[in-house]
Structures are given as structure tokens and as C-alpha cells.
A and B are shown apart, each in its own frame.
Chain A
Amino acid sequence: MKLVVGSWQLAVGRWQSTVGNIKKNILFLCDLCASVRKKNFVGLLSSLLCGTFAMSAQAESRFPQPQFDTGHVVPEAYHPSVTAVVSEGTDVALLFVALCVATWLVHRVRSRFWILAFSLLCLVWFGFVRQGCFCPIGAIQNVAVAAWQGGGLAWGIAAFFALPLLFALLFGRVFCSAVCPLGALQDLFIVRPLRVPRTVNAVLRLIPLIVLLFGVVYTLNGAGYLICRTDPFVGLFRRSAPLPLLLTGMAVLLLGMVIARPYCRYFCPYAVLLEVCSRLAWEPIKITKATCINCRLCVGVCPVEAVEIPREIPSASTRAGRFRLFVRLLLLAPVLVIALTCGGWLAGGTLLAPAHPVVKTYEAMVQYTPETEALYPAVEAAKKQKLTRELLEVQAREITQRFRVGSAVAGGILGLIIALRILGLSQLRRRAEHEANRTNCIACGRCYPACPKNVKTIQ
């Protein structure tokens, strides 16, 4: 009896708010025909019902709540609470301890073996147990967004961002030596590192800078966390991921057999910040604490080509030549900055902005025809949220403009840094010993046992 009344109310209610939904109705008709052909009457019934509702409004709650005669209690679904592996405080404390231990191993114990052993421990904990999230690399974006908006960052993420930088400011890139799970993982795959030609290296080293600058623009404009999306290893750490993600991770690791630490050197945006800090390090990495005898034995073992060989101050004529070059480059710098600013403006509008969800939805709406089925979900979603094309157009234009401005600024900064890097080439100081380059050295400790002076001190 209740059912009959219910259905009646329902039918009346629904027919009143009829909104045509052509797609569904066609589907429904197909269904119906199929059911009739197959003499499938349950199907026919349900198809008919479906059709009724499909033609009615998208509104839900079509059937009334039952009153149970048996006194059945409507249950509540169980929703598990967040299961954090450890608390935020423990996370930060462990990172701090790990950085201290790494510093001690790199600067006092000075043993490749123990650095490697400790990096394995960190790989297991920060990588496979904590599963690589969150990490200082991704924290760049959280910090950028929160700093832009002026607050709201969880303190744990703030600490993850700041601690490795502060350690780098004091002791060099000890974070990269053992603590960073991405670095530790790649380090294991170094088999036969090839030398990367200087110019190729210089060009490739612009990528981290580009990722950092444009990644921040991308994030600040609300298009998502680009830096996290380009982390190739997160799938491996979770031992579960969509196939493309897993394959990318494997490919980067395999590449790492011949090009040591490819992600670290040619992609990691956090490395840009670490390098700035590490350049100013209070106690930089030292190949040996004794006097270098310039035997060159350390040069070959460094997988990232960070050993700098001794160099004299060039002769007066070379210096004059370099000075002329310097002046010419100084003239070139503004051109570079302007060119990259314009480039950034263009790239912001054409490459970055289309990744923003609102712009994406707007474009899907513009391009959607029944043939371009793939675009349908975005259009359907916009309709459900009552976003009209006009509204989206205004928003999309605004967002695109923001992207242009942001990328132009990023482009300008990029130009400035490139100019500074080029100018840096013309500034030479005398170097009497083999030294670890302050920015590039990842404190892996491979050169420690290679240096005969070190071996002697141990004996």
C-alpha cells in the first residue's frame, strides 16, 4: 500500500519538474528496444522506470524514506578516521635527527660506507614507510601558496621545507647525501656514470630553475601542484600506482645508471634552493681535511662531476679578453631578460593557463560536440554546478591573464639568473687544490676513500 502511494506521489512530483536530458533518453530508448527484443520483462520494467526518471529532473531523493513496521533501525555507515603513520611532531623530529646524523657522518665519520648505510635507512623510513609524502621538494608549493595568502600552512610542512635549507646553510647538502629518499634511491642505481659535456650540463641545469619558477606560478594560480605531479618515484615508494607513473619512475632509475642522479641534477626544484644555501655553507664538504696533494684520484670517482680541479689565475691577456667578453655579456643581459619576459608572457597564456581546471572546463564547453565524447564529463559537471559558458568565459579570461603576468615575471627572473650565471663564468679565482664544488656536491662521500690522504689518516 505504502509503495503504491509512494510511487504515485513520486510520479506526480517528478513529472512536474521535467527537464529534457536527450543523451539519457536515447540511451533509455535503446535499452527499451533491447529489452523488448530479448523478451526481458524485468529489464523492460526497469527501463521504463529509468526512462521516467531520466526525463524528469536530475533531482535526487525520488523515493520516500520507509517507515519500518519491524522497528528496523537505519544504520550509520562507518567512516574510518585518518590513520597517520606517526604524528606531525614525530615526523619533524625524525627529520631533524636524520639531518643531524647525516651531518655527523659526512663531516666527522667521513665514511662512504656509513653514509650509504644511513641512506638506506632513510630510504626505508622516508621513502617506503612514510611513502615520500610530504617532502621538502613538494613543500615548496605549500609554502609558496601559504606565503602568498598569508597563512594557513601546517607547521610540520613548514619545518620540512626549512630544516634541510638551514642545514645546507651550515653544512652543505647533507640532506641530499642520505636523508632525501629520492636521492638515496637514485644513488643506489649509479653504476657507470658518464661525463656530461659542460655545455650540455649548463643547459640542462636550467631545467630545475624553470621547474621551480614556473611550478610556483602554476601553483599560485590554482592549477595544482606541478612539482608533485612530476615526482617520478612516488609510485615506487607506494609500490602501487597507475602504470605510466611506475614506468616513468623505472625509466628515470635506469637512466640513473649512466647519468648519476638524473632527477637531482636536472629536475629537482628544491636543489635550486639547496644550492643557494650550500654555496654559503659555513662548513662545506671537504674531500680531505689534510692538504691536497693534487693526485687527481678524486676526480674520477665523483658521480656528479663536482670535483673542481686546481686552476691558476689566467694571464693578463686572457683576463683582458675575458673582461671584454664580460662587458659584452653585460649588454646582452637586458636583452635576455626582456626576451624571456616576453617568452614567459606567451607561455603563460598558451602552455600553463590551459591546465587550470576552470580554463579546461571552459574550453571543453566551447569545443564540445557529441562527437568529442571525451570532453563530455567536464561539460556535464559544469552543467550540474550551473556554470554557464558566459560565467566561465569571464573567469577563464581572468585566470589566463594572471598566468601571463606570473609567467612573465618568472621569465624575467629566469633571464636574470641565466645572465648572472654567464657573468659568473668570467669571474675566476685561483684554486690551489682539488675541491668539492659547493653547489653541485651532494655529499655522497665517494671521494673520501679515494683520496690517499684520507686513507693515510685512517691507517
Chain B
Amino acid sequence: MTGSKSPPTRRNLLSWLLRAGTGSVVAALVYRASGFHRSGRMVWQLDPRKCIQCGKCETACVLQPSAVKCTHGYAMCGYCKLCFGFFKPDAPRLDEAAENQICPTGAIARKFIEAPYFEYSIKEPLCTGCGLCVKSCANFGNGSLYLQVRHDRCKNCNTCRIAELCPAQAFVRVPEESPYLLKEKL
């Protein structure tokens, strides 16, 4: 402990002053940054009203497959037999065969409810967040399919890599306690 053993010279005093000065600069900075009240953690979410389904959500995330996936706002869905989020525009037939589906990974499940209604749900482990279904549903249907950052996957990067590249500036920080921007509730 050089500091404590050596006699209190002028040099010693000066270095303690400098040390205390630097320490208080750090403290002041942190104090000002924290404000007077304690704020909790924030997490990333994308605003589905701004999203244009550019496809970056699938590729830009630091995770592969992406932490962004499609979600279904059932309350907005028309339960259409001919779902624009499910069927390709040039689908040979209206059944669940893979060649008829928009989704490249077959992540959308189609379930008959009653004539003429079908319910669509997302098999999340399969979804890659490409947004193809979302785009088609938004353009031709009710827009009940939309993308969301899934918080069981998202690493909550200090800066979301998708946020940096999103052409629509759709990414925002939301409080950890309510981490979704659900289109049907916005």
C-alpha cells in the first residue's frame, strides 16, 4: 500500500485530490444519468403499425433464427377460408399442401372451425420471422398477422441490430413489464 505508507507529501496530496476529482466526475455523471428516480430495464419491441415487412427482421438479428417471429392477433382475424397470409397468390389448390402456402417453413397451422371459417395459428419454433405472410395479410387481408420480438428468445442487446437497419424505424424500447405492442390492442 504505497499510498498509505509514504509520508503525506505534496505530491501525495495532489494525487488524492485528482483521484477524488475523477471519482466525483464519474459519480456525478452516473447521478445525472440515473435521474432522481429509479428506472427499470427496458426491452426492444417493434411497432407493427410502422413495420413494412422488409425482411430485415429475419436476417439482421444477432440470433439465427431471429428473435422476431410472427404472431397472430386472433381478435382482428376474419377467419377467412382463403387466407392471404396462408395461401400463395398462385396456389394450385386451397388446401394445406406445402406448395400452396406462402410460409416457406410451413409455420402456419390452419384449423377448420365451422363453415366457412378457419383458424390460423403460428407454430413459433418453425417461424423465421421473414414476414411474407404478414405482408400479404396486411396488403390483402385484415392485417391480423404481425411481427413481434419474442422475449423468450431476444437477448435484449444494448442496441438491437435490427433496430439499426429497420427502414421504418419501427423498433422502440418498451418497459420490461409490458414488452409487447399487440396490434389488436393498440
Contact = CB atoms under 8 A, between A and B. Distances in A.
A54 B139 contact: yes
Contacts of A276: 22
A384 B23 contact: no
Contacts of A84: 41, 156, 176
A5 interface: no
Contacts of B156: 82, 84, 133
B159 A241 contact: no
Interface string A214-245: 00000000001100110000110010111001
Contacts of B27: 162
A53 B139 contact: yes
Interface in B41-87: 41-43, 50, 52, 54, 56, 59-60, 62-64, 71-80, 82, 84, 87
Contacts of A20: none
Contacts of B23: 166, 169
A418 interface: no
A50 B89 contact: yes
A300 interface: no
Contacts of B62: 234-235, 238, 240-242, 245
Given A151-B33, A153-B33, A158-B30, A242 B151 contact: no
A158 to B, nearest CB: 5
Contact of B34 (A46, A151, A169): A151
A40 interface: yes
A53 B140 CA distance: 6
B105 interface: no
B84 A377 contact: no
Interface in B89-127: 89-94, 113-114, 116-117, 119, 121-122
A238 B50 contact: no
Contacts of A34: 90
B81 to A, nearest CB: 8
* Chain B interface, >50% SS class: loop
A31 B30 contact: no
B12 to A, nearest CB: 10
Contacts of A385: 50, 168
A216 to B, nearest CB: 12
Contacts of A47: 89-90
Given A80-B152, A147-B32, A242-B60, A283 B1 contact: yes
Interface in B7-42: 15, 18-19, 22-23, 26-27, 29-30, 32-42
A62 interface: yes
Given A66-B117, A158-B33, A238-B63, A79 B180 contact: yes
Q: How large is the interface on B (under 10, 10 to 19, 20 to 34, 35 or more residues)?
A: 35 or more
Nearest to B152: A80
B128 interface: no
A276 B18 CA distance: 11
A138 to B, nearest CB: 4
Most buried by A among B43, B82, B140, B155: B140
Interface in A54-102: 54, 58, 60-66, 68-70, 72, 74-77, 79-84, 88
B76 A61 contact: yes
B143 interface: yes
Given A147-B33, A228-B157, A381 B52 contact: yes
B69 to A, nearest CB: 11
Interface of A: 3, 24, 31, 34-35, 38, 40, 42-43, 45-47, 49-50, 53-54, 58, 60-66, 68-70, 72, 74-77, 79-84, 88, 131, 133-135, 138-139, 141-144, 146-147, 150-156, 158, 161-162, 165-166, 169, 224-225, 228-229, 234-235, 238, 240-242, 245, 276-277, 280, 282-284, 357-358, 360-361, 364, 377-378, 380-381, 384-385
Given A79-B71, A151-B33, A152-B39, 7 more contacts: A50-B89, A65-B76, A143-B30, A147-B29, A152-B35, A158-B33, A234-B62
24 contacts: A34-B90, A46-B87, A68-B117, A77-B71, A77-B72, A79-B150, A80-B150, A84-B176, A142-B33, A143-B33, A146-B35, A151-B37, A152-B39, A153-B30, A166-B26, A169-B19, A225-B158, A229-B161, A229-B164, A234-B157, A238-B155, A242-B59, A280-B15, A377-B56
